Structure 1
């Protein structure tokens, strides 16, 4: 539902990425650089000067790639069924695959010439690459023969298809049925943003019809999505076993430089929040019943604000709130936010066939604009989304400024910078709002946000973990198996009875588990939201309260990029996720927030 007038200020300036060239010209420049790299490749390791030149050329190539790929991908995400951008995306995929295939034996060459490479790395000009090569040498047992690596490189292009099929299906093919409101007026539901807004309507019949329209849309494709999920994980697991890992989980843990027991420990620690979860949502349901005079809280009622103080926020108001709330970071941080607004880094508004949800771009090395896509709908939730994605973009700014080689962000800790912004926004709003009902809404947003990024995401992650175990055990995975497993995970982490989730009346909503986009990417991602939330809740409180020593630690964290292991990067904040202390600290904060929530009632 587009309620803001579309103009250039609310659309992003992607033309900057072309660097005063046409798309074809930038593509030609990329191809020339690609050919140069292939020309240098046979001798890249033979002398120190060759090796230094090789690293330099690859660095420059990555910068051009970031411009080109971001231009194509962001345009495609504006219209996921646009044939021009689908064609360009496939074209780039083929071209990149050719480069990958021709250099598929590079790791084997480096391993064969380990002594030589280690000698080169003593050169101060190459010191930033030492960590990367040490990791490569450490993973030598998972590197296959040159012939096998070449074969896997060719086949890897197929692996990307799962995510692409999922995106095409969910963002371009699956459509929501029109619905009627209580006056029998037909309402069009064009996007997920429409669903989000309509589920906050005061018209309960409309809410119910929208809820069924939304869930039925995915439920109809449950068998297709179940098969896609199964074959995706089967492929991920088989590829990991081929590389001599125990399974897919073992492979991603190795990539993240962690042990599998850390994931299981996080599951256990988040499960300890379940009593607080039930206590809060029981109270929240009572409040919804009282506020809206409901005999029972149905699923289509749960998106309502807990009070009837429903404030709409314009884009300009949201900008002002963000600047004021995040002023605790200091002038440089605020200057980057102002650039994001003034230099049009943001695609603000929903459009038909636009990528649902929100994101801040990856692959930012060499760029000076860190683009954000969102679907602003005037709700408080959209203000939080803006704060969240700006956290990612400003993280990109700092490590881009301070790192030459490691100017990227490991997925493991990527959510810390974004969720910290959300916590600070909440604390600012709680302090500046005088209306008790507004404060209640803000506390509700903060607490539900915490459970959404811990309990909710761990339900998804533990589900994902168990699916991999079933594939290892050669167990069948049908929609019924998926549904039952999802129900069990909900019971495990929420303390609610199984009957709360297995009611036939609401069965359509169980297909939710099939539309988690991160499942189809191949990086075992969603538990990392909890990895982000736990440090972020602690960080948000300390930063907002002016803890100067911690703020210095926080900027060290932002600037470090991927120069350290993920766990050591988080340790820059003084937080060790292998210990229970941080989870206990969060538990205490959460308990106090729920007490404050109950007092406001």
Structure 2
């Protein structure tokens, strides 16, 4: 295994260039001082906004302050991620975080003030000042929460309860990340070693079924032992969601969660029901996997084993970038031109190095360009990670270039569409250009398992969340047994033919997303949307290319369902979901044929 490089050993053209945000720390400190001045100015409008002119003055100051803070925070975060061991950048990031807390406190009065206004008063303010047209959409967007806001006294009480009500999530995080210890497994030298999460993932992808079985039982052992404790934290989280929804006058916790994106509950229900109506392809894939692995029965610890043995493909970064470009040619000259330029323009931090943050992401402040962090290791997975993150980068770049600050940020609901479109176009390009049957099988297996994890598993989680919240609203007790009954039933529905070990019913106890309710369905709608868009593009539909680029340029200027509808994706209907499921079936058929 190669030792990670020192950052100084990496060529300049494979490192991002943060001087595009600030030429140095002196410029950062200058903007920090400006932010403090703007913060005091924004705070001074408390109890003084009594006209359109005053409202406009506050909003302009607040927007400038938000823009400046984003720039300060992103820069310090990116510097820190270059080498997390450097105390100077740790201090810089802490300083930025502290500023963020102060800013939030300084302008916390504005939302309650806005929602205390009568609509006629807000209309009058907007009529008085033409400059408020720029902020009009956001003001009315915020104003739609007015029916769900309580009296000032009650809002203050709820605000004070905020920290208390976050306890279930905090407690689970401490259990899951700090305190939990997994059982022992047999190491490579035959000695017993304590299992870690990283080790568990590697073992599940290995060919030794005895070790996979041992690791599965060791991994679940602490969750089973803590089932009642974790059930109480999850039940408390669900009860808080139900209580707050009732207090604020929402029909359900689900409706409250979807309210911000203007997504009707029928979209959520359609996703679940359409998937459950088309589970035959999953059954087919599980049968194929069982035969391919030569097993009489397939268990959960057999689901991650690659179906192509001894396959390795090394691809240097330069070749990977060129391969990605070739796969994305259907997106047109404008897209390709920016993507080509990004490679040598200080956007991407390519190599793993000592102290560098692990993983991959895309981030950047409005007014510069996106920055992409990679830890490229010359594997096929790294190629797909590159394509994924550059999808995010292109979405942000095109949005920032075509939208003002106020509407440039797109919502989480559509955030994974661009990244997944890139992945789908790339994998279809690779499938269409390789004659190597082993590579083809690997790619098909990769694509199938991506859909399985990003779509089927997330829909199952989404239905679990819906059921347990409905049980709570109906006054039913949420115990470990109650959670397990729901989870096991759903797992058997969404994974037909998989034989379940007793521990599996406690799968709910290890999912952090359940403490951020009704979030995971967005992964499923995202991949369904992306597959539909990519399929039309690959069919040569120029109209879809144009509407998709327009979507990328639209940022957050409209609600997400409307933006997607313009690309031909209507999530109010079953079609995008059924199209994804048909593709899944087709991919399984191709894998069987090989």
Q: How does the TM-score come out when normalised to structure 1?
A: 0.84
Give the Cα separation in 1 of the matches to 2:147 and 2:417. Answer: 32
* Cα distance in 2 for residues equivalent to 1:537 and 1:286: 28
SS at match of 1:307: coil
Does the CA-based 8 Å contact 1:177-1:213 persist in structure 2? yes
TM-score (normalised: structure 2): 0.85
> 2:150 aligned to 128, 144, 166, which one?
144
Given the alignment, which residue of 111, 118, 124 partners 1:111? 118
Q: Kindly tell me: are residues 481 and 131 of structure 1, through their superposed partners in 2, closer, same or farther at Cα, counting changes over 3 Å?
A: same
Q: Assess if the C-alpha contact under 8 Å between 1:104 and 1:146 holds in 2.
A: no
For 2:327, the equivalent position in structure 1 comes to 325
Q: 2:402 aligned with 1:384, yes or no? A: no
Consecutive unaligned residues of structure 2, counting only runs of 5 or more, are none
C-alpha distance in 1 between matches for 2:107 and 2:471: 32
User: Does the CA-based 8 Å contact 1:110-1:117 persist in structure 2?
Assistant: no
Alpha-carbon deviation of 1:264? Answer: 0.9
Q: Is the 8 A contact 2:72 2:96 kept in 1?
A: no
Indicate the residue corresponding to 2:39 in structure 1: 34
Comparing 232-241 and 431-440, the one that deviates more: 232-241
In the alignment, what sits opposite 1:55? Answer: 59
Aligned residues of 1:63 and 1:366 also touching (Cα < 8 A): yes
Pick one of 267, 290, 308 that aligns with 1:285. 290
Preserved CA contact (<8 Å) 1:30 1:61 = yes
Name which of structure 1's ranges 92-101 and 450-459 shifts more when overlaid on structure 2. 92-101
1:101–1:150 CA contact under 8 A, matched in 2: no
1:210–1:117 Cα change, 3 Å: farther
CA distance in 2, matches of 1:144, 1:306: 56
Residue 370 of structure 1 contacts residue 397 of structure 1 at CA under 8 Å; is this kept in 2?
yes
Cα distance in 1, alignment partners of residues 592 and 585 from structure 2: 11
Contact kept, 8 Å, 2:271 with 2:574, in 1: the verdict is no
- Structure 1 residue 133 and structure 2 residue 127: aligned? no
Number of aligned residue pairs: give it: 581
| Deviation of the 1:573 alpha carbon | 0.6
User: Cα gap change, 1:402/1:157 in structure 2, threshold over 3 Å: closer, same or farther?
Assistant: farther
Say yes or no: does 1:403 pair with 2:403.
yes
Deviation per CA, 1:553-578, whole angstroms, max 9, x where unpaired?
Answer: 10111111111122111111122111
Contact in 2 for aligned 1:483/1:511 (Cα 8 Å)? yes
Q: C-alpha separation between the residues in 2 aligned to 1:400 and 1:587?
A: 34
Per the alignment, residue 561 of structure 2 pairs with: 567
Q: How does 1:492-511 map to 2 (within 5 A)?
A: 492-496=493-497, 500-501=499-500, 503-504=501-502, 507=503, 509-511=504-506
Separation in structure 1 between the aligned mates of residue 77 and residue 160 of structure 2, nearest angstrom: 22
For 1:350 and 1:242, how far apart are their aligned partners in 2? 50
Give the corresponding residue for 2:423: 422
Q: Secondary structure at the match of 1:244?
A: coil
Task: Tell me how large the CA RMSD over aligned residues is.
Answer: 3.7
In the other structure, the counterpart of 1:66 is 70
2: CA distance, partners of 1:164 / 1:411: 23
Deviation at 1:297, TM superposition (A): 4.4
* Partner residue, 1:487: 488
Query: Equivalent residue for 2:106?
Result: 99
1:111-260 to 2 correspondences below 5 Å: 111=118, 113-120=121-128, 123=130, 125-157=131-163, 166=172, 169-171=175-177, 174=180, 179-181=185-187, 183-184=189-190, 192=198, 194-216=199-221, 222-260=227-265
> 1 CA distance for matches of 2:305 and 2:104?
47
